[in-house]
Chain A
Amino acid sequence: MTRLAAEAVGWAVEGRFVLVDVALALPAGSLNVLTGENGAGKSTLLDILAGARKPARGHVALDGVPLAEIAPAHLARRIARLDHTPGLYLELSALENLQLFHGLVQSPGAPLDAAALLERVGLAARDQRRPVRGFSRGMLQRTALARVLASGADVWLLDEPSTGLDRAGCALLADVLADVRARGATVLLATHDPALLPLADARLHLSHGRLVAAEVA
């Protein structure tokens, strides 16, 4: 079953098309890797797939329903995005960040074991309670990964998720991704990291705004 699909998606900046006729179909419970040179349009495509940008042409559908027809609040529950910024309040602790973002998109009383999630991404108990401003890039990335886990979303759109992670962090990322895929989530990650390529069920390659290769592993 196709979870997230794009059809003839185009995006233009100042009259120049950055994405041209991009079409893809991501099945439920699949892990997909998006590659491409710098400036190929990977981040823009992820933004459009997440509903953060309206495509200039074409459309994106989640479970067959165009994103434009889905309430943003519902979209926030279904699609989680991890981009170049950590998406965290730097003066709050990792625990406070998780509780806040969970509270914003989930109904009151929805269960959240924030400490367990942070432990899952390798954040020690003493680090969970201090402001994340003092975190290294890798620790911020781990916390951001925990935020995505806490969202409960079943579509994950990740932009360079291994940035700043050490070898153990990369292994943990691979483990988390395999785990969410096994639970039926759809993952699309844009990366230059060759270590993540073997995880993919399908590899997509963008070049100058065009999807030039879609290869099923």
Chain B
Amino acid sequence: MLLRLTWLLLQKDLRVAARSREVFGFMLLFALLCVVVFAFGFLREGEAAAAQVPGVLWVTLLFAGTVGLLRLFAAEEEGGTLHLAQRTLAGPHPLLLSKSLMQLIFSGVTTLLLLPVVLVFFDAALVQPAPVLAALALGLVGQAVLGALVAALLVHVRLREVLLPLVLYPLLAPLLIAGVRVTVLAQGNAPAETVDSWLGLMAGYDLVVLATAPWLHARVVEP
């Protein structure tokens, strides 16, 4: 039941996104713009540009993800459908799950397109790509679920554009720190145990978020 209803809502979100063409394009454009701005800000002649890659990559993904999150419930707000989408046969869970998946799809595709751009722009190479890809996957899952939850909590708040990053960024700090550390370590030949401990932290963080987000969401949306 949960999966069927989640799929129903996700299909709807994909259809809305394809027809409105407003979210994904802006996310990607914003991410590229961030990379260019960071390049202007951080690149110095004679300094190794590759050292900037971990910070630039993760902060860019955080910022681009925020663009998607700010529009995550736009269709519901515009048409007044939020209460209808929350009251399903499986309660409000399919809505949170579908929104998390939607955010994950957008930020995942953005990451896949952005990663090569960052590597080329900063003349860097990933010595160990597997841990970086694993860290990105874990980071994006955490950001998508927690981001969807915070976006849902703030949906009726007037200053949500300002509040969303203020609430979300501190919560995502552990993922950001761990993601940057894994990327730094993967650029060199760091021992596997060190990388694994950071990945373990990210996986643990995601598990806590996945376990608590649906409960918190249901508590907040109930009248």
Please give me the residue from chain B that is nearest to A104 by CB atom: B88
Q: Is A111 part of the binding interface, using a Cβ–Cβ cutoff of 8 Å? A: no
Contact of A90 among B79, B86, B92 (CB under 8 A): B79
Chain A interface main SS type:
loop
Contact B88 A89 (CB under 8 A): no
Contact A87 B79 (CB under 8 A): yes
A107 to B5: give the CA distance in the assembly, Å. 10
A43 CB to nearest chain B CB (Å): 13
A140 to B138: give the CA distance in the assembly, Å. 42
Q: Is B129 part of the binding interface, using a Cβ–Cβ cutoff of 8 Å? A: no
Q: When each residue 60-87 of chain B gets 1 if its CB lies under 8 Å from chain A and 0 otherwise, what string results?
A: 0000000000000001001111011111
Contact of B88 among A53, A76, A87, A108 (CB under 8 A): A76
Chain B interface main SS type:
helix
A92 to B15: give the CA distance in the assembly, Å. 8
Q: Find chain B residues with CB under 8 A from A51 CB.
A: 223
Among A28-36, A95-103, A174-182, the one that faces the other chain is A95-103
Q: Is A190 part of the binding interface, using a Cβ–Cβ cutoff of 8 Å? A: no
A83 to B87: give the CA distance in the assembly, Å. 16
Asked, given contacts A76-B88, A103-B8, A107-B89, whether A53 binds B223 with beta carbons under 8 Å apart, the answer is yes
Asked, given contacts A54-B223, A100-B12, whether A89 binds B87 with beta carbons under 8 Å apart, the answer is no
Q: Find chain B residues with CB under 8 A from A54 CB.
A: 223
Q: When each residue 96-123 of chain A gets 1 if its CB lies under 8 Å from chain B and 0 otherwise, what string results?
A: 1000110111111000000000000000
A197 CB to nearest chain B CB (Å): 26
Q: Find chain A residues with CB under 8 A from B80 CB.
A: 83-88
Contact of A73 among B85, B87, B223 (CB under 8 A): B87
Q: Is B16 part of the binding interface, using a Cβ–Cβ cutoff of 8 Å? A: yes
A103 to B87: give the CA distance in the assembly, Å. 11
Contact of A91 among B9, B16, B83 (CB under 8 A): B16
Please give me the residue from chain A that is nearest to B18 by CB atom: A91
Q: Is A12 part of the binding interface, using a Cβ–Cβ cutoff of 8 Å? A: no
Q: Is B19 part of the binding interface, using a Cβ–Cβ cutoff of 8 Å? A: yes
Q: When each residue 57-94 of chain A gets 1 if its CB lies under 8 Å from chain B and 0 otherwise, what string results?
A: 00000000000000111011000010111111111100
B40 CB to nearest chain A CB (Å): 37
Asked, given contacts A72-B222, A104-B85, A131-B19, whether A90 binds B12 with beta carbons under 8 Å apart, the answer is no
B residues with CB within 8 A of A: 4-5, 8-9, 12, 15-16, 19-20, 75, 78-81, 83-92, 94, 222-223
Q: What would 8 more interface pairs be, CB under 8 Å, given A73-B90, A87-B80?
A: A72-B222, A85-B81, A86-B80, A89-B81, A92-B15, A96-B15, A103-B8, A104-B8
